[in-house]
Structure 1
Amino acid sequence: MGKLDITLRDAIGKIPQKFIQILTGQKGRAILDNTFPAVKERKADLILQLEDRSILHLELQTQNDKNMPFRMLEYYLLLKQKYPNNPIKQMVLFVGDGKPNMPDSLQLDNLSFSYQLIDIKMIKCEELLESDNLEDKILAVLCDVKDFEKYITTVAKELMELPEKERSDYIVRLLIMLDYRPKLLMRLNSLLEERKMPITITEEMLEKNPFFQKGKQEGLQEGIQASIKNLYLNLKLSVEEIAKGLNISEEEVKKVLKESNLLKD
């Protein structure tokens, strides 16, 4: 399980009410058991009873998966066995930086099955920033963020009111989510350089996030390498732009790209 999966499961497990309401039009009523006894145990990302007593099953995806319909069907059958008298609502929430292009239905000889496939980037960041729930505000960074500096300022104001340990935990979670939004992460780097960050990011926090770890004598860390390739291939940024955004030398960027056969001498 990836860091983002764990972080998001933790966030939605605390019922970000505004977020659930945007997805379903209802408030969450109660967290339900999300494990299913079977030959091998299945554990969903979130099982939640809504206000109308229907059951919401939410799965988080950072990448497209062509086999997603089969996974969702398996969960549906388990849920229907467990809650036979409750309507079942299933959603796959795509939280990756690209676009979701996996199927949202299954058509077999004797079966027609479907669920909702939602791109989290279709949700406006501002809607979640209006929430009284900090979990909603942290999740907002994965949504449609039009003004990142405004977002950081808004979240920081609330974070500064928290005890130091709790504030640190939230900042680490925010950094983990930003791993999946490279453009915003570059903007964060710029704000740090310009000293416009209203919150402090300590070395201890950065050590928990491999994206921010600078190269050591043995070479760049795996997180930085992956980010360089992603920015070069998917965002079509130049060597100079990547180096400036990640606050590393152009030589380090070129080294990674050459070793990956993405840049010639």
Structure 2
Amino acid sequence: MVGKYDITLKDMFSDLTDDILSYFLGIQHTKIEELNVEFPRVEMRESDMIFRCITKEGNSIAVHIEFQSDNDREMPYRMLRYAVEIMEKYGLIPYQVVVYIGENSLNMADGLDFNFGKENFLKYRYKIIDVGEIKFTEITQTSYYELFMLLPLMDKERRKKEKELYLKECIEMIKKIPLEQERKRELAARAKILAELVYEEEIIDKMFAEVIKMLDLEKSATFRRLIEEGRKEAKITIAKELLKEGMNIDKIAKVTKLPVEEIKKLLN
């Protein structure tokens, strides 16, 4: 999850696929098809992004992208299980990458290496991209404008040294992006949300005040979705309190407008 909002990293980065493939992975593609993959054997969770990618050379591969906001010591095992599921279901070789956007220093292995002799070994690797290690100018000197929403998380050393001055420069770069107003508004909204991973809320509100007014950020689809998520979270809080008081589930559903099945889950 990102910050205080009930919004997944997949939602945040859903429009970044082309730029991630081209800029971060160096994969020049001619076609991308999102794969509808469910992983019943992988901890009952869905992968962030999996695409069938046809490269310019005509090779068909499965590009699997995971987003992490914290270090996960189990990541190599989870990624390997994903790789097996992809190969079994689609018969495609997976190109896997973990995009790390956490505030703490990267501390995750990029694969597994078991050796029990010359004929018994396992060497498995995937790519890890530490967004905090990417320099501000590496992105701002390109035309990969969708990636500008990641600027508040980049250039960790400079960010920690300059603090809110760095965030201000990030915002100025987003304001200058030569895109239509609606798209720029969405990128600014997402940049504001991602900034919560590394900045205090007071600083974020102060730095984004002007751009919120200038771009009318409240109109962005991202912000509207977050407002709805906030309303739902408030309803869930009320439902929990009413359950404690012993109110009937059907009555709680009428009061909160939440589905009965969702209220039942709160009992677990």
TM-score by length of 1: 0.60
1:155 aligned residue: 174
1:57 aligned residue: 64
Cα RMSD after superposing both structures? 3.6
Shift in Å, 1:25: 1.3
Look up the SS of the partner of 1:43 in the other structure.
Answer: coil
CA contact (8 A) 1:61 1:94 kept: yes
Of the three residues 74, 79, 84, the one matched with 2:81 is 74
| Structure 2: segments with no counterpart, 5+ residues | 159-165, 228-268
Q: Give the count of matched residue pairs.
A: 202
Shift in Å, 1:132: 4.0
What amino acid does structure 2 have at the position aligned with 1:93? Answer: V
CA contact (8 A) 2:148 2:174 kept: yes
Q: Cα gap change, 1:47/1:168 in structure 2, threshold over 3 Å: closer, same or farther?
A: same
User: Who wins on radius of gyration, i.e. which is larger?
Assistant: 2
CA contact (8 A) 2:70 2:100 kept: yes
Q: Quick one: higher RCO (CA 8 Å, sep 6+), 1 or 2?
A: 2
1:246 aligned residue: none
Look up the SS of the partner of 1:35 in the other structure.
Answer: coil
Residues 31-42 of structure 1 correspond to what in structure 2 (within 5 A)? 31-36=33-38, 38=40, 42=45
Q: Cα gap change, 1:104/1:113 in structure 2, threshold over 3 Å: closer, same or farther?
A: same
Q: Cα gap change, 1:65/1:39 in structure 2, threshold over 3 Å: closer, same or farther?
A: closer
Q: Cα gap change, 1:170/1:35 in structure 2, threshold over 3 Å: closer, same or farther?
A: same
CA distance in 2, matches of 1:42, 1:208: 22
| Structure 1: segments with no counterpart, 5+ residues | 210-265
Q: Does 1:43 align with 2:27?
A: no
Of the three residues 127, 135, 143, the one matched with 2:154 is 143
Residues 98-137 of structure 1 correspond to what in structure 2 (within 5 A)? 98-108=104-114, 111-137=122-148
CA distance in 1, matches of 2:77, 2:68: 14
Q: Cα gap change, 1:141/1:198 in structure 2, threshold over 3 Å: closer, same or farther?
A: same
What amino acid does structure 2 have at the position aligned with 1:21? Answer: S
Of the three residues 101, 104, 109, the one matched with 1:95 is 101
Shift in Å, 1:207: 11
2:249 aligned residue: none
Shift in Å, 1:188: 4.1
Look up the SS of the partner of 1:200 in the other structure.
Answer: helix
Q: Cα gap change, 1:75/1:143 in structure 2, threshold over 3 Å: closer, same or farther?
A: same
Shift in Å, 1:203: 9.7
CA contact (8 A) 1:34 1:45 kept: no
Q: Which runs of 4+ in 1 moved over 6 A?
A: none
Shift in Å, 1:26: 1.8
TM-score by length of 2: 0.60
What amino acid does structure 2 have at the position aligned with 1:175? Answer: K
Look up the SS of the partner of 2:67 in the other structure.
Answer: strand
2:233 aligned residue: none
2:199 aligned residue: 182
Look up the SS of the partner of 1:90 in the other structure.
Answer: strand
